[in-house]
Every structure is written in structure tokens, then in C-alpha cells.
Amino acid sequence: MPSYQAPLRDMRFVMDEMFDYPAHYASLPKGEDASPDVVSAILEEGARFARDVLLPINQSGDAEGCLLEGGEVKAPKGFKEAYQQYVEGGWPSLAADPEQGGQGLPPSLAMMLSEMICATNLAWGMYPGLSHGAADALRHHGTDEQKATYLTKLVEGVWTGTMCLTEPHCGTDLGLIKTRAVPVADNAYAITGTKIFISAGEHNLAENIVHLVLAKLPDAPEGSKGISLFVVPKFLPNAEGNPGERNGVTCGSLEHKMGIHGNATCVMNFDGATGYLVGPPNKGLACMFTMMNAARLGVGIQGLGLIEASFQNSLSYARDRLQMRGLSGKQAPEKPADPIIVHPDVRRMLLTQKAFAEGGRMLVLYTAQMLDVVEHGEPGEDRDHAETLLGLLTPIVKAFLTEVGFESTNEGVQIYGGHGFIKEWGMEQLVRDARITRLYEGTTGIQALDLLGRKVLMSQGESLKVFTKEIHKFCKAEADNADLKEFVEPLSKLNAEWGELTMGVGMKAMQDREEVGAASVDYLMYSGYVTLAYLFARAAKQASLSLTGEEKSFYAAKLNTARFYYQRLLPRTKAHAQMIQSGAGSLMAMSSEDFGLGFEI
């Protein structure tokens, strides 16, 4: 069975030494509750819960899967008991508003817990995962009555939430949905339609499930402008606010999936189910975006957790597995062969995992600070600045970390060799589980269009300038720092090139809008690599200040990882830049019929 230890030392390095989280928390209204002692206790207890409760049921949950009987879904053995411990520990309410029964702590703390959960049992973590987004959507857009009925239950975790968007005939293009909402008595609507790919749509972990459903009213405009949002509970709450009559929503089937077998991914049938409008009519997509943005950050953290899990187990295996001798001679002469960690190519794979894990953690915690300010900060310039950066970075967190997450878990299988292909070792499960993260909550292509088209070009590049200006200031301040020259000089050049590439795509797009789609994924990956380069440069600066202390080995390793990233991974930007500049010509020249030349369909 794979092992896991939460990387608390690295988390503390990023939080306390790089980003000064104690001062950050102290600057937030009521942030004094997130004292260093409280934060430490939360991280340590979260680490214990993930390691001792979730990890032992990860492989068994994958093997057992979920069972649908008579419309009811049973999660794998141990999942319900783990969820009860999760609720009893107060974990669902960590970052929720105290007015709804939450603890009022900053969202960044909940994000650190999420990394540990995703690293140890991604499938289990998806049951409570969307509840936070559902609660946020109701908090921002629900009526007072809806908040009183559903919000506290979701915050406490006794009820869970879902988001029901996709239908058999449409995924990303939600304007094509066919689910209908017909007004009936008492401000209620009868919801009829079928939704697919609904994570945790039906299960036995909680006493009720609150579905947030996109549907169209009878007089709705065509397309996405005619989408409304409804809250549709599995059980209609009675007068006391407890689960009452069963609603007209059922699980028609479970999807048979490549991975995340322990999570119930459901086809949900709504047969005149009673629902209630959330937000204004025909504005459901805007309301749902509150939940979708939270989910996108959550999926990025899933990528990070899987990278860390794969790296830890790959490292352990590479230290123990004996295979051949080092190219420069025997490294362990007392043994019949050397451990494979001495071989350069194995080190390349391990360092790739390590760099993406540590860089991804920096990216998540940097973004988390922006989320804290947006959610808890006072209105003003600082919050506007944080909101701009959060909008820019969210598609990068989601797509870049899931792309390199899949790469890193594949490297884990490769490090194990043939054993990595065998189920008992648990490495192939990480690959299977990681594959969905590049798809749900918006594919990499959709995130790339959001970043380049919506966030950057539609703002005439102003959102990007907010970030590149920060990087420029860092490079200018450290320009004379000889210890950082190897990082600052290439970072400064890439930062300038980032703006040039953006302008180039924008100019081409004025003549041909296909240029945006043609460049978008390479642009996102380029953006991700440069963003991590900036964060590794900041980490290198911090580490270089502590090389003579008691933990000099930790800081020396941080510097070596930063050097590996700059020398071995950051050069990938050159290929992405060339592909961005190549334009849409070769992609759009061929007719759709010509794709099949050479065989008949």
C-alpha cells in the first residue's frame, strides 16, 4: 500500500517564510483567530486524519467501487465512517461564515487540508468537495429562506451538495441544455431532465443531498442567456428542517470510469422534482460560476495532491530498489547492486515530480492569499487587486497543475518499472485518478480560452499587466543580487516575452479570431511555467538567506530544486512560444473531410 506523510515542513516554508501568512492572517478582519498555534494544530490534525483515516481505504475503495441497488448508492467500505469522523471533527465548517455555523477561518487553511485529502483519497474527497461550492453559491445568491433551510446543513456537513450541469448531448456548451423548470405552486418549480457525470450525486454518507441544477424556464431566451439555477434536494425538508418526503430525483445509473472508482459518478434523473429558483431568472450561469470557480481551484489542488503522493512513493521506491551499478562506479559496494536513485534518468523523473509538487504548492498558496482577501478583506484597492490576480490565476491553477499532475503520476509508474503497472503498488491508480482532473470543471482547452480570451485579451492585457508588473518589480529589486542572478535574468526575459507573445496573439486575432483558440493551450502552459519560475525565484531568495542555519540541508535542497526547474523544465517555454507564434494556419488549413483520407468511415 502506498504511504503518505503530509509535507508540513514545506507547507510552513511557503506559508511562513515566503508569503508571511501570520502577517497576512493578522491583516484580515477577524483574522486573529488564525493564530500560528491554531494553524499548526489544524495542519497537524489534518495530516493525521488524511494519513490514518483516508489513506487506508483508498486502494480498497478503488477495488470495490460503488454499488447501485434500488436507486440507492452505497459507497465503498469505510467511506461512510470516515465521513462521520470528518463531520465530527468540524472539518466541513472550517472556512465557512460563523453566521451559518462555520468557524470563520480563511479559505487558504481549507485549501491546505484539501491537498492532504486529495493526496490520500481523491475519490473520497469528492463527496464533501462540492459541498463548499454549493454553500458559497447559496450564500451569494440564495434567498434568506434558502440560506436558513440549506446553508447551515451544508456547512455542518450533515448534508452534501452537487452541481448538475452536463447533459448527455452537451458538456461545455450549456446553452444546449434541455432540462426544463415549470412553475408550480408556492414559488416552486417542477424540474424535469437528465444530468450526467454528477460527482457524489447519490450516496449513503450524508442524510440529504442538495443538488444545484441548471434548467430553462418555459419562456427562457435561447442559448446560455436562458439558463436558470435551482436548488433541488434529494429529500424535501419538513417543517423542522429535517429530511422529509423523497423528491423526484433519482440515480439512473453509475458511470463505469477509468478512475476515481470510490466516488459515485451518477446519471441523475429529475422527474418533476420540486426545485426553487436561486438568483434571478435566466441568470443561472452567472450564479453557478461562483461554484464553478471554487471547483476549478479545488481540481487544481487535486492535481497537486496527486503529484505529492506519486513523488513520495516514487522516492521511497527509488531509495530501496536495487538495479545495476552507477555509471561512475559502485555507489553502494556493500550491496549486490545500487539503488536506482543513483541513476541520472531516475533522478530526472524524481526531480520533475518534486519541482512540480513544491512549485504547485507555492502557486496554490499564493493564489489562496488572493482568495482570502477577496472573501474576507475590506472593499478597496487591495481587494480589487486580489480579485484581478485570482481571476487570472484560477485557470492556471486548474489546468497547469492537472496537466503536470498527470505527467508526474506517469513518471511515478515509470520509476517503479514493471511494478508500477501492477495494481498492488498503487501507482497506476494515481494515473487513472489524475486523468479526470484534466477534464472536469472545464477541460484544459476551456481553461486556456478563459485565460487568453476572457481574462487577458478582453481586458486588453490589463489583468496580465498586474501580475507581470509584480514580477518586474521583483526582478528589478534583485537585479544586483549575485546569489539570484541565475534566476532573475532568465525570469526577467521571460516576463518581457510573455507580454510580447500576448500582444502578438492579440494583433493576429484582430484579423482571425481562430488565432486565439490555436494559441490558447500553449499560452496557458507557457503562463504556468513562467508563474512557477517567479515563485521558485522567490523561494530561492528565501532559501539563500538560511543556508547557514540548523536546517541548511532543507534550504540547499530548495535551491537545487529551483535550479533543476530553471535548467530542465523552464526551457519548455521555448517550444510553447514557438507554437504560439506559428499561428492557426496549419491547424485550420485542412477540411474536416480531409482528416479521414486514407480510410473510410
Which tens digits make up the pLDDT trace of 473-529?
Answer: 999 999 999 999 999 999 999 999 999 999 999 999 999 999 999 999 999 999 999
The pLDDT value recorded for residue 601 is 65
> Which residues contact residue 430 at a Cβ distance below 8 angstroms, ignoring those fewer than 6 apart?
2, 306, 309, 310, 409, 412
Of 300-304, 341-345, 547-551, least confident by mean pLDDT is 547-551
Angle at 31 between CA 27 and CA 32, to 5 degrees: 100
Q: Are 164 and 227 in contact (CB under 8 A)?
A: no
Q: Which set of grid coordinates corresponds to residue 337?
A: 547492486
| 510 within some domain | yes
Residue 318 CA, chain-centre distance (Å), reads: 28
pTM metric for this prediction: 0.97
| 218 within some domain | no
> Which residues contact residue 550 at a Cβ distance below 8 angstroms, ignoring those fewer than 6 apart?
none
Q: Are 132 and 113 in contact (CB under 8 A)?
A: no
Domain that holds residue 542: 460-586
Q: Which set of grid coordinates corresponds to residue 583?
A: 499561428
Q: How many domains does the chain have?
A: 1
Secondary structure class of 232 (helix, strand, coil): strand
Of 31-45, 178-192, 286-300, least confident by mean pLDDT is 286-300
Q: Is the pLDDT of residue 187 over 90?
A: no
> Which residues contact residue 49 at a Cβ distance below 8 angstroms, ignoring those fewer than 6 apart?
85, 86, 89, 91, 116
| 312 within some domain | no
pLDDT in tens, 315-335: 999 999 999 999 999 999 999
CA distances from 103 to 24, 30, 156 (A): 18, 11, 10
The pLDDT value recorded for residue 548 is 86
| 473 within some domain | yes
Average pLDDT over residues 146-156: 96
Dihedral of the alpha carbons of 592, 514, 499, 582, in degrees to the nearest 10: 40
Half-sphere exposure of 565 (CA within 13 A, CB side): 30
pLDDT in tens, 74-106: 999 999 999 999 999 999 999 998 989 999 999
Dihedral of the alpha carbons of 46, 539, 366, 578, in degrees to the nearest 10: -120
Phi, psi of 232 (to 5 degrees): -130, 100
Average pLDDT over residues 7-15: 98
Of 436-445, 524-533, 542-551, least confident by mean pLDDT is 542-551
Q: Is the pLDDT of residue 287 over 90?
A: no
| 231 within some domain | no
The pLDDT value recorded for residue 600 is 73
The pLDDT value recorded for residue 148 is 95
| 417 within some domain | no
Percentage of the chain modeled with pLDDT above 90 = 92
Give dist(CA 450, CA 27) in Å, integer: 31
Average pLDDT over residues 534-551: 94
pLDDT in tens, 366-416: 999 999 999 999 999 999 999 999 999 999 999 999 999 999 999 999 999
| Residues carrying an active site annotation | 441
| 549 within some domain | yes
Quickly state the pLDDT bin for 1 (edges 50, 70, 90).
confident
| 495 within some domain | yes
The pLDDT value recorded for residue 171 is 79
Q: Is the pLDDT of residue 464 over 90?
A: yes
The pLDDT value recorded for residue 58 is 98
Quickly state the pLDDT bin for 450 (edges 50, 70, 90).
very high
Average pLDDT over residues 438-462: 96
